Each structure stands twice: as structure tokens, then as C-alpha cells.
């Protein structure tokens, strides 16, 4: 199986931007990107983050994504790029490739508090 690449960083560091840049290196048929917001945003529509069902539903949606895009043997020919938790790599027998991004605090604070990020 192809590896699972996990990109980890603080909000506003550029996880999604960098993940998107990796796709053309392999072609869309050879790589799949699952962004954390694909797993969070649908649940946020149904429940506030402090609602008792919020975390349960996030876990359920994450498990569905892992089953479909990481653990299913028919997807083993594609690199899986996640900006969310990397648990499925071991279950699928994929090599786990963690990538940790850093950014200077002076650059991060304005980005994290920008109207674009806060407003969606």
C-alpha cells in the first residue's frame, strides 16, 4: 500500500495549502486529500462544538473517511494525505509519514485572527 501522509501544525500554518500542492506530484488518481475541515464542517452544521453529540459524530465521520479512503484495499494504490488524525495508517498496513509544519508566532497570530479565517 501507498503511505498515509499526515500533515500536522497549528491553525493557519498552511496544512491545506501544502496538502493541495502534493496532489499534482502524484496525480489525482494516485493521491487523495482528506482535509480536517471535511470532517469537522458537516458536523458543525448539525451540532455546536459543546454539544454532547459533536465529538461522537466527528469520530463517526472520521472513521467513515478512513474506512473509505485509507483502509479499503482498492485505495492502496493511492497516497492518502490527511490533515486530521493518523490512526488508520496502522490499521491499513500503510507506512505512516508525519509532516510537522512550523511558523513563527509573529506570522501566525495575524493569520489566525484574520477576518477570512474567523468568518470562514
CATH code assigned at 30: 3.40.50.300
For residues 59-64, give the mean pLDDT: 88
pTM (2 decimals)?
A: 0.73
CA distance 107 to 13: 9
Residue 68: closest CA among 42, 96, 92, 84:
92
Show the domain range for 106. 4-119
Q: How many residues does the chain have?
A: 120
pLDDT of 12 higher than 90:
no
pLDDT in the model for residue 40: 83
Q: Name residues whose C-beta falls within 8 Å of residue 98's C-beta, 6 or more positions apart in sequence.
A: 6, 8, 86
Contact by Cβ (8 Å): 101, 7: yes
Mean pLDDT, the chain, rounded, equals: 85
Residue 58 neighbours by CB distance under 10 Å: 19
71-118 pLDDT, tens digit each: 899 999 998 888 766 677 888 889 889 999 998 877 777 777 776 766
Number of separate domains in the chain: 1
Amino acid at each position: 500500500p501507498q503511505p498515509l501522509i499526515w500533515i500536522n501544525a497549528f491553525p493557519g500554518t498552511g496544512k491545506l495549502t501544502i496538502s493541495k500542492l502534493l496532489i499534482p506530484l502524484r496525480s489525482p488518481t494516485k493521491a487523495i486529500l482528506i482535509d480536517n475541515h471535511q470532517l469537522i464542517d458537516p458536523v458543525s452544521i448539525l451540532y455546536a462544538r459543546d454539544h454532547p453529540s459533536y465529538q461522537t459524530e466527528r469520530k463517526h465521520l472520521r472513521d467513515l473517511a478512513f474506512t473509505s479512503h485509507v483502509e479499503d484495499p482498492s485505495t492502496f494504490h493511492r497516497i492518502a494525505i490527511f490533515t486530521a488524525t493518523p490512526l488508520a495508517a496502522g490499521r491499513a498496513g500503510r507506512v505512516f509519514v508525519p509532516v510537522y509544519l512550523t511558523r513563527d508566532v509573529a506570522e501566525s497570530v495575524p493569520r489566525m485572527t484574520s477576518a477570512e479565517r474567523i468568518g470562514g
